[in-house]
Structures are given as structure tokens and as C-alpha cells.
Chains A and B, each alone.
Chain A
Amino acid sequence: MIAFIRQHPVALAVAVAIHVAFFAILVLSFRYSRPTTAEAPPVEVVQAVAVDEAKVKRELERIKAAERRREEKLKAMAAARKREEKRLAELRRKREAERRRQAELERKRRAEKKRLAELRRKQAEEKKRLAKLEAEKKALAEKRRREQERLARLERERREAERRRREEAARARAEAELKKKLEAEQQRLAALQAQQRRSEIDRYQQLIYAEVYRNWTVPPGARRGMSAELRVRLIPSGDVVTVDIARSSGDAVFDRSAMQAVRKASPLPVPPVESGLFEEFRQINLVLRKKET
């Protein structure tokens, strides 16, 4: 800015002058624009001149008469003036009334105008309000529409999510199901293996049972319920390595018959070493009991 001023000093001066001029005009116009008051009405001036006696009497008469006439005239004039004044006053009064009426009218007009303006303003406002209302309504409708749309979208989304969730759940369920099935299958397999193992052991136990049973001659003199427990060591061929009395029946004949049964049943049927089950049979206990009944 300062750089600009420095370059154009004349422009600056002109600008300042123009500003000053405008300012002056603004002040003067403000002064002359004051309203002027109304001028007073013009007043009538009367001039009197004296004449001889007879003449003046006549003349007086005549003056008297003239006087009277003049007085009358004055009177008439006064009356006229009075009337005039009265008329003027009336006029003034009327004019004043008129002016007041006019002022009132003006006031009324202005009030009307103001009212109208107000009305218009109100109408405008109303219109505006209505417009605004309409706009609001529209906005509301729009909003509602949008809301509905949003809701619809949300609903759609929700449905979608729900569907996805369901799908996901179904998938998860299916997976869990599969996993469960797999686990169950594994468990079943493990159980099967354990069961197979047990049933193998069971089978060999039964085989040993049968073999010893077959080879056992129960001493007829043994008491019912008499029993002996033997500790038997086996080698993988099933051959009985040692037989010891773990618990004697208390009867030598019975104990001997039990030992004989085991020895005689040798080799006992045992699972092959490869099965991993032989270890269960490396050392076994056999209880031989004479039946109670």
C-alpha cells in the first residue's frame, strides 16, 4: 500500500480531495435538508385625512356622515374582519383540523402502511415461516425419507449381517460339527484301540484261563472255596519260567495241583511281542479256586 502511495502521489491527492468534497456535500445537505416552517399571512393598513365646517359641517356632516359611514364601514369592516377572522380562524381551525385530519390520515396512512408493511412483513414472515415450515417439512420428509432409507439400509445391513451371521454360525456349526465328528472319530478310534487292546488282553486271559482250567485237576478232597494264588513268570514263547506260591491254600495237595496245572498248561497262550501286549503277561498271577457249590 505505502509503496503504491509513493508511486502515485497525485492519485492520492485527488482521492483525498474527492473525499473532502464528498464530506462537505454530505454536511451541507444535511443542514439544508432541514424542513422550513410556514410564513405568517399579510396584514391590511388603513389611512384617514380631515375637510371645511359647513362644508366642514356638511363636511362635518358629511364627515360625520362619512364618519358614521366610515364607522359603520369600520364596524362593518370590523365585523367583516371579525367574520373574516372568524372565517380565517375557522379556516385555520379547519385547516388545522384538515392538517390534523391529514396528519391523522397521514398517521393512519402511515400506520396503515406500517400495518400493511407489518402485514406484509408478517405475511412475508408467515410465508417465510411457511416456507421454512415447508422447508422443514420437506427437510423432515427428506430426513424421514433418509431416515427410512437409513433404516431400510440398516435393516438391509442388519438382514445382511444376520444372514452373514447365520451363515457364519451355520459354517461354524458345521465346522464344530465336523470337528466334533473328527474328535469323536478320534476318540472312537482311541477307544477302539484301547478296546482292542483290552479285548486282546481279555482274549489271551481267557485262553490262559481255558488252558489252565483244562489242565487243572481239582483235588476232590479240597474244601469248597479253597484257593491258592500263584505268581507265574512267562517268556515271550509263553513258556512258564517259574511258578511260585504267592498265597498258599494251606493244603499241600491243593497247592501242588495248582502248580501242576500251570506247569502242564505251559506254554501258555500269550500275545506276540510285536503287539506290545506281552509285557502285561510277563508276570501274571493265577488264582485257582475250588468252586463253592
Chain B
Amino acid sequence: MTRHLHIWMLAALLAWPLSGRATLTIEIEKGEADAIPIAIVPFGWQGPRAAPLDVAAVVRADLARSGRFAPVPVADLVARPTTAAQVRYADWRVLKVNNLVVGRMVETERNRFRIDFQLLDVVNGQQIAGYSIRAGVRDLRRAAHQISDLVFEALTGIPGAFDTRIAYVTVTADRRGRKTYRLAISDVDGYNEQVLLTSPDPILSPAWAPDGERIAYVSVTPRGPVIHVQNVYNRRARKLRRFPGLNNAPAFSPDGRTLAVTLSKDGSADIYLYDLKTDRVTRITRSPAIDVEAAWLPDGSGLVFTSDRGGTPQLYRIALRDGRPAGRPQRLTFSGKYNARASVSPDGRRVAFVHDHRIALLDLETLAIEVLTETRLDESPSFAPNGDMVIYATRDGNTGVLAAISVEGRAPQTLSVTRGEIREPAWSPLRRRNF
């Protein structure tokens, strides 16, 4: 920061005698984005009963969790306006907030609600956005997440990913040590958990289809692992063709028609493409080493996978053309003894992965690695669909937790806590807005 300033100042000083009374220009260069101070005023409520949901609180929590915002605690709010007209900007400037969200909810008919809100620029004293959202009682949380998304995008320039879900696997054990595996999805804030599958058999590697409606996962039956694809709405599941040996780590292609999978039917573990329409597979890697856990580049032009062909597990990239390998795999990671479990960012520029049991980011252009987390048992990173956060599984003592961290490495946020273990989170794609 100051170095740039000094350089500029020097230039300015040199130019000074020549420029005479030229206008002073000060250049300010800043990289890291500070958390945006914002006030979200509790929404007004008009209805016969108590408000079914504190929408503002959900928005506040969402924005705080993103690491991009620093919402003012409710107790510090200087006033409680519910419309833009009621706002006295000077009051809010004292609070040093950049932005203000005010809104009100009315019950238009039984269990039908309309939420009106405005996003205001306190500093410049003007409205940035205003929306009206209608929702049923079961969709109120979602409506709140959508408000968070709108605010997030308006102020950061990045689409919000609050109105999304995560899939994960929980493991619980009864007194006799018998384990129960559950495949579940929930909102990203941990609410609205829905269990899709309960099984005594281990469940692995849930993966979202790009349409956000299907999830592929692996069920390890006594006869061996089997890949399933399940619709999250009607819960209908489809068992895929099983091959001898491994049937693991499914990953939907960007067009949703193909799964990249790990099979060992031909000997060692290799990457294959599984055509969901024809149930036919195409071999992508051919090495005596173990090649696993393929992740798609968002444009479908290739896969990033883990291979121990170099002696230790490292990330490799292989290009695809027309569903076939194009060229030899290219090694991507060179430091660390364990680099695995790739998740490619939505813009295709970065890969989140496990780097010696921490979550790290790999720049696909420079191959520079940036370690994000400081804990030691971090697993299964998954990029948020807006590319701004990474969710991963870790442990807090004996408890398994899901945590999310912004790609800038801001303090990780714990999302979900369960008894027992929680594993392999997968962040859903963005959802279409329903208003």
C-alpha cells in the first residue's frame, strides 16, 4: 500500500514544479476487500400473528457468514426504519456503515407473504435497489437467502450463493457400534436438512448435477461400491451399471449428461467417462498408477484428477475432446506429499484441493498454491457456485463439522454441526430465482 503511495508521491513531487497548479491526484490502490459495514434493520411486520420468520436476521447471518460483510449488531442500530422514506442518512453515517437494508413483510393472505425491501447507500444518501418478493410460509427462509443474494451481488459485484444447498454425508453409531450413514441436503446455513438416504452401508462422494436436481453418490454395498443418481425432489434413485472393482467418485459433466468416474475394471484405478444415456464408459487415463477423483473444468474441456503416478498423490490435468482424452496428463502440483480431491472453481481458474490435510487453492495459470486453512484435518473441499467460498469438512474435537472459508482466506465459518461425523460436503449449483 504505502510503497505504491510513495512511488506515486515521488512522481508527484517530481512533477510538482512543472505542473504548477495542476490538480493534486492521489492514487489509492487496494487489493484485499475489507468486510463491508452494513446495517440490516429488522423488517417491519404486518399480520395477525407474530412474524413467522425474522427475515433480517437470516440476511444478517448470511452476509456475516460470507466474510464479505460486517453487519452491525441489532443492539447497535440507531433507528428502526422500515422504508427508505423513514431513513435519516446522517444517523447511519454516524454508525459508519456503508449500506442499510430496510424492509417490511406483510401477510397478504393466510401463509402468503410479500416482502418489500430497499438497499440503501448511506454514504451517498441514495437507494441502490428495491425489490418485492412473494413467498409462502415454507419458502420464507429461501426468500431471505434471496434477499441476501441480491444485497451481496449489488455490493460486491459477485452473485450471491446463499440461496443454494449443500449435500453431505453424516455417520452416526449406536451403542453397539453399528454405524448409520445418511445422505442429506440442507440450505447452506444448515437449515432445512432433508435426508435423502439412510443406509448401513457407507455412502461416499455426493456430487451435484448442474441442474441442481440430481445428486450422484457411491454406496459401498457388501458386493462392492455402486454409483447412484438420485433426484433430490422426488427422491427417485437410479443405480448405475456396476463394474468390477472400484465404482467411485462420480462427477457430473457441465452438460449433465456424463459422469466422470473412477473404475478399476481394467486393473488399476483409472478415470472413465460414464454416458448416462447409454451406460457406456470411455477410458480416459491409462496408467498402472492409481488415478482417482476427477473434477470437470467448467467448460468441459478437461478433467483435474489425483494420481500417484509420480510416487505421491498429486493433481494432474488431462484435456478432453469429444469425450476422449486429448494429450497426456499434465502434472499441476509439485509441492507437498499429498495433493488430492480437486474442486474446480466456477470460472475455471482455480482448484480447491487438499494439500497435506489443509485446504489450498491452486492457480491453474501460474500453478501457485495458496493454503487457505490452518487446521490439520480438512477434507473434501467444494467450491461455492459463485466461486467466492469453499466448503469443506473438518473436525472440532470429536465432532465433525462443515466449515466454509472465503477464497481470500477470511476466518472460516462453521456451517453445520452434527453428532458423529459429517463428511464430504458438496455445494449445489446456483438456483434459478423463484420470484
Contact = CB atoms under 8 A, between A and B. Distances in A.
Contacts of A248: none
Nearest to B70: A217
Nearest to B9: A202
A14 to B, nearest CB: 117
A219 B156 contact: yes
A284 B25 contact: yes
Contacts of A256: 121, 124, 128
Q: Give the bracket for the number of chain B residues in contact with chain A.
A: 35 or more
Nearest to A202: B9
B124 A259 contact: yes
Interface stretch (B30-38, B253-261, B306-314): B30-38
Interface in A235-293: 251, 253-254, 256-257, 259-261, 263-264, 279-281, 283-291, 293
A264 B23 contact: no
Contact of A287 (B25, B98, B124): B25
A213 B9 contact: no
Contacts of B60: none
Q: Counting chain B CB atoms within 10 Å of each CB, which of A221, A224, A253, A284 scores highest?
A: A221
Nearest to B25: A285
A213 B408 contact: no
A263 B31 CA distance: 20
Contact of A220 (B93, B98, B408): B408
B31 A217 contact: no
Interface string B386-407: 0010000000000000000000
A256 B9 CA distance: 25
B98 A260 contact: yes
Q: Give the bracket for the number of chain A residues in contact with chain B.
A: 35 or more
Contact of A253 (B29, B37, B156): B156
Contacts of A259: 123-124
B253 to A, nearest CB: 27
A43 B312 CA distance: 191
Nearest to A285: B25
B9 A285 contact: no
Nearest to B67: A220
B28 A209 contact: yes
B156 A221 contact: yes
B96 interface: yes
A201 B24 contact: yes
A290 B24 contact: no
B124 A260 contact: yes
A209 B26 CA distance: 7
A252 to B, nearest CB: 9
Contacts of B5: 206, 209
A218 interface: yes
Contacts of A198: 13, 16
Contacts of B68: 220
A219 B28 contact: no
Nearest to B31: A291
B188 to A, nearest CB: 18
Contacts of B26: 205, 208-209, 212, 284-287
A284 B23 contact: yes
B25 A217 contact: no
A231 B158 CA distance: 27
Contact of B30 (A221, A279, A288): A288
A218 B31 contact: yes
B322 interface: no
A221 B21 CA distance: 36
Nearest to B388: A220
Interface in B91-138: 93, 96, 98, 121, 123-124, 128
B154 interface: yes
Contacts of B29: 288-291
B124 A253 contact: no
Nearest to B16: A198
A3 B155 CA distance: 146
A222 interface: yes
Contact of B28 (A260, A263, A286): A286
Given A198-B16, A256-B121, A256-B124, A251 B28 contact: no
Contacts of B16: 198
B12 interface: yes
Q: Counting chain A CB atoms within 10 Å of each CB, which of B9, B32, B128, B158 scores highest?
A: B9
B39 to A, nearest CB: 14
A8 to B, nearest CB: 112
A261 B33 CA distance: 12
Contacts of A260: 98, 121, 123-124
A216 B25 contact: no
B174 interface: no
A150 B386 CA distance: 109
Given A205-B12, A259-B124, A220 B28 contact: no
Given A206-B5, A284-B23, A220 B31 contact: no
A205 B128 contact: no
A142 to B, nearest CB: 74
Contact of A213 (B30, B123, B156): B30
Interface string A192-231: 0000001001100110110011001111111010000101
Which are the 9 A-B pairs with shortest beta-carbon distances? A221-B157, A291-B31, A221-B158, A260-B123, A285-B25, A263-B123, A253-B157, A220-B33, A218-B33
28 contacts: A198-B16, A205-B26, A212-B28, A216-B30, A217-B34, A217-B35, A219-B158, A220-B157, A221-B158, A222-B157, A231-B23, A253-B154, A253-B155, A256-B121, A256-B124, A256-B128, A257-B155, A263-B124, A264-B123, A285-B26, A286-B28, A287-B25, A287-B27, A288-B27, A289-B30, A290-B30, A290-B31, A291-B30
Given A285-B25, A286-B27, 17 more contacts: A205-B24, A206-B2, A209-B5, A213-B30, A217-B37, A220-B33, A221-B157, A224-B31, A260-B98, A260-B121, A260-B123, A263-B123, A281-B24, A284-B24, A284-B26, A289-B27, A291-B31
